[in-house]
Amino acid sequence: MGALLTNRFMMITLVGIGHVFSIKEAVKYIVLTRRPDAVCLELDRLRFDALETGTREQGEAPFLFRRLQRIYDKAAETQGAQVGEEMLGAAEAAGEIGIPHYFIDIEASPMVMNIFQKLSMSEKLKLFGSVIGASIIPKKTLEEGIKEIGEDPDKYMEQFENYFPTLKRDIVDYRDRYMSKRLIEISKKHEHILAVVGQGHIRGMIDLLEPYGAHVINLKEVQEIARGLVDGSIKMPVPKGGNIYEGSNNDVHFGFNVEMETSEEI
């Protein structure tokens, strides 16, 4: 990726989330306090519409991926959440402060079908065993597993890569590049954009976006805010008014004056 100096300031904030955690209000809090110029979501239009209407367009998805969705739903229920509610929270907060939201992810259904067809028979069998096994584990064991993922999502992603290298390459790495390119394009219109993406994408995207400036709020920090909102130590800000963001001493920002070179591929 190349970058040319200009007089324009650009900032990208990546917010790491987990789709099964009860963090909707925390994500809204972050948007309302950071007050970016635009919010970007790890979704495509069809998935967002399905979340808003509470429907699931899974008819053409392979059986294993439909089963995997049920596992996500079950995991979210143990946390008192619904899968994807944090994305709706980000869009709601954007609407409250009058800024646009963008969808930065590739359309899911064609991607899933393509990936499944590329898997070898041994990989399909391994995936089948993992999904079926996960669907029958006891609730307590599931809760413990979710807790471990929340405490160390990078370790979970490394295990996923070791066990399913093809899926890691085609589902995670490819989308890291796709979404990073989308953010760079959107940054042409808005000086500060805030992107809500799965924590598993943070490491890959921050490397790709390093020349363009980025600030990361990891899943652990989001969960800490969620706990603070529940116990009352953190108050939800009023959405209207001026810039209400107050940074802490732990905040680290990287800002660069850049001009995007669209002819280069990420």
Q: Rounded to 5 degrees, what are φ and ψ at 166?
A: -65, -45
pLDDT at 9: 64
* Domain-located, residue 266: no
The parent domain of residue 87 ranges over 3-260
Weakest-pLDDT range from 92-96, 133-137, 206-210: 133-137
* Domain-located, residue 158: yes
The average pLDDT across 86-110 equals 94
pLDDT at 76: 67
Distances (CA, A) of 100 to 15, 31, 129: 17, 12, 42
pLDDT at 6: 40
**CA–CA gap between residue 76 and residue 51 (Å, rounded):** 14
The 10 Å Cβ neighbour count of residue 254 is 15
Q: How many structural domains does the chain have?
A: 1
Q: Is the pLDDT of residue 2 over 70?
A: no
pLDDT at 30: 97
pLDDT at 19: 83
* Domain-located, residue 69: yes
Q: Is the pLDDT of residue 132 over 80?
A: no
Helix (H) or strand (E) holding 232: none
pLDDT band at 14 (very low <50, low <70, confident <90, very high): very high
pLDDT band at 262 (very low <50, low <70, confident <90, very high): very low
pLDDT band at 3 (very low <50, low <70, confident <90, very high): very low
* Domain-located, residue 265: no
| CA pseudo-torsion sign 263, 216, 142, 233 | negative
Helix (H) or strand (E) holding 103: strand 101-103
* Domain-located, residue 177: yes
pLDDT band at 193 (very low <50, low <70, confident <90, very high): very high
**CA–CA gap between residue 145 and residue 148 (Å, rounded):** 5
Backbone conformation region of residue 241, classed left if phi is above 0, alpha if psi is from -120 to 50, else beta: left
Mean pLDDT, the chain, whole residue set: 80
Distances (CA, A) of 120 to 124, 126, 160: 6, 10, 17
Q: What is the tens place of the pLDDT at every residue in 164-178?
A: 888 889 889 999 999
* Domain-located, residue 151: yes
The average pLDDT across 234-241 equals 78
* Domain-located, residue 31: yes
* Domain-located, residue 95: yes
Q: Is the pLDDT of residue 251 over 50?
A: no
Weakest-pLDDT range from 41-50, 163-172, 178-187, 216-225: 163-172
Radius of gyration for the chain, computed over Cα atoms and rounded to the nearest angstrom = 19
Q: Is the pLDDT of residue 245 over 60?
A: no
Quick one: tokens of 145?
A: 């597993």
If DSSP codes are grouped into helix, strand and coil, which group holds residue 97?
coil
* CB 213, CB 18: distance < 8 Å: no
**CA–CA gap between residue 164 and residue 160 (Å, rounded):** 6
